[in-house]
Every structure is written in C-alpha cells, then in structure tokens.
A = this chain, B = another copy of it.
Amino acid sequence: MKLATTRSDNGTQAVLDDGVDVRRLPFADVGVALRSGKLASLDVSALPIEPNTHRLRFAPLLPNASKVVCVGHNYAAHIAEMGHEPPKYPTVFSKFSSALVGANDPICLDTAASSWDWEAELAVVVGAPLRRATNAQARAGIAGYSVANDVSARDWQRRTSQWLLGKTFDQTSPIGPWLVSGDEVDDASDLLLTCSVDGVIKQQARTSDLVFKPADLLVYLSHVTELQPGDVVLTGTPGGVGAARTPAEWLLPGQILETSIEGLGSCRNECVADPAAT
C-alpha cells in the first residue's frame, strides 16, 4: 500500500495507491490519515478514483509532522572511511516541519547561507503510539518508508555546537513522494539509496549498511518521548556529501537534486535562490 499527500485547489488531499488505482482518502494529509486510526477499516473500493494520476502534485508527505527526528553518523562504511569508531548511541537532532517540501517542489537555498549540502536519507514514518517500545512493538508500529533529503546549510550548522538552525531553514528538505508500507519493500532492510546533482551521482549506499536500523531508532526514541502516528525519523546519510569532498561542493540555484530509494521512489527538486534575485 502506498499513501501520499497531494496538493488540491483548496489545500492538501491524502491519496492511496492500491496498485491498480489512486483513490482520494477522506483526510487532508498522510499524517491526519495515520492519526485517524481509520485506515485499516476503510472500504477502499468505495473511495473516489483520482482521474489524473499523472498530474498528482506532491505536497510534503507529512506537512504538519509534530516530530521530525533526524539521525547523524549512521552508515557503517561512511563512519569507517571518516576514521571514527562505531557509535554507541545514535546522534539525534530535529528539524521543524516547516523545513519540509514535496517531492517535486523547489528547494529554497537561503542567500544568507553559503554552503548548501545534500544528505539523502531513508525516512521512517510512525504508524502507532510507541512508548518504551520493544523491538517487536516498534516494527509493528512502522507505517512505512519514504525518501527524504536532509538538505543542510553547513555554515549555519557549524556556527555553534548545535546543528538545528543549519537543518531547519524553511522549505529545504524534500520528503516523499510516497509512504510505502514495509511489506512492499522487505521492511526497507536492503534498498539502494542514491543522490545525484544535475544527473551526477554523489551518494550511493544500501540501507543494509545502517548501524541503527529503523526499529532500533524507534525503540531508542520511545524511551524519551511517546512517538505518535505521523511522526517521522530521517535515518541518516551515507558518504559522499559535499562537505566531505575535496574541494567541497555546494548546491547552487538552478541545480536539480534527485534523491532516490529503490522501491520507494524519487524526489526531484530544483534548487532556487531565496529570496529570489530581483
């Protein structure tokens, strides 16, 4: 099963792809749908069919997520190439949901920052309340997986010890297009993740290289806070970011950032200057 949040003439509209048709759900977005607790009991065949499937305009998958949790240092090969020891605990930070954009939206590169970088990531979406969860509870509480890019303003990220501001500029982080349930992708255990800029591949890794797996992360986080349906965790990025290249490479207005995960889909976003040059 696949869900998405699409733009409609008067806001947003959650849709469901049952493999044959795309149907309109009676919810404004995927987060509202997950929190309703009514997805499992819906009579999908009774829902209106979306006629213009090829014209779907994707909004951020979870436009009002109350928790967008992010993880750093979580791909084993990248940690090793940086000469670091495997981490004992996940490095956890957050961004505000106002940072999220849809799968084909522009990425707004604020001209107040000078070093915009890419971070392709597997996103895990929570489907049930999780508090001090076991691994089995966490697995059962995953609504599905999606594609995200934790686009980062490295200069702002490094102004102080805390990364938040470099990670949460408005309208910078693509997430979508679809939320794909675990049964369709073997629980995202070994998917190829790719990030390219103007068609040149910059990052490529498999999710099997994640140190802390999706369920591990939900278990850990659930000891701090009760995770709710519609919360999302970006699981970290592999090697190949612009900051680690010699010389460093940064995203520029006009470039196309493409983030893809096998079985989940692709975000394809144009970078634009914000505010736009006049």
- Cβ of A96 and Cβ of B67 under 8 Å apart? yes
Q: Which residues of B contact A64 (CB under 8 A)?
A: 66
CB distance from A61 to the nearest CB of B (A): 17
Please tell me if A41 contacts chain B, counting CB pairs below 8 Å: no
Q: Which residues of B contact A224 (CB under 8 A)?
A: 110, 156, 165, 168-170
Q: Which residue of B lies closest to A169 (CB)?
A: B224
Stretch among A30-38, A87-95, A203-211, A238-246 lining the B interface: A87-95
- Cβ of A164 and Cβ of B225 under 8 Å apart? no
What is the oligomeric copy number?
Answer: 2
Please tell me if A135 contacts chain B, counting CB pairs below 8 Å: no
Give the CA-CA distance A90 to B112 in the complex, in Å: 16
Please tell me if A98 contacts chain B, counting CB pairs below 8 Å: yes
- Cβ of A165 and Cβ of B92 under 8 Å apart? yes
- Cβ of B162 and Cβ of A66 under 8 Å apart? no
- Cβ of A89 and Cβ of B170 under 8 Å apart? no
Please classify how large the interface on chain A is, using the bins under 10, 10 to 19, 20 to 34, 35 or more: 35 or more
Task: Given the known inter-chain contacts A160-B89, A160-B92, please indicate yes or no for A168 contacting B223, CB distance below 8 A.
Answer: no
Q: Which residue of B lies closest to A64 (CB)?
A: B66
Please tell me if A99 contacts chain B, counting CB pairs below 8 Å: yes
Please tell me if A159 contacts chain B, counting CB pairs below 8 Å: yes
Q: Which residues of B contact A161 (CB under 8 A)?
A: 91, 161
- Among A72, A90, A112, A162, chain B packs the most CB atoms within 10 A around the CB of A162
Q: Which residue of B lies closest to A167 (CB)?
A: B224
- Cβ of B97 and Cβ of A169 under 8 Å apart? no
Q: Which residue of B lies closest to A69 (CB)?
A: B164
Q: Which residue of B lies closest to A67 (CB)?
A: B96
Give the CA-CA distance A112 to B89 in the complex, in Å: 14
Give the CA-CA distance A99 to B162 in the complex, in Å: 19
Q: Which residue of B lies closest to A112 (CB)?
A: B223
Please tell me if A27 contacts chain B, counting CB pairs below 8 Å: no
Q: Which residues of B contact A110 (CB under 8 A)?
A: 223-224
Contact with B along A222-233 (1 / 0, CB 8 A): 011110000000
**18 cross-chain CB contacts under 8 A:** A67-B98, A72-B162, A90-B160, A92-B160, A92-B164, A92-B165, A94-B96, A94-B164, A98-B225, A98-B226, A99-B225, A110-B223, A110-B224, A112-B223, A162-B162, A165-B221, A169-B224, A170-B225
Closest 4 pairs (CB-CB, A-B): A91-B160, A93-B162, A89-B159, A170-B225
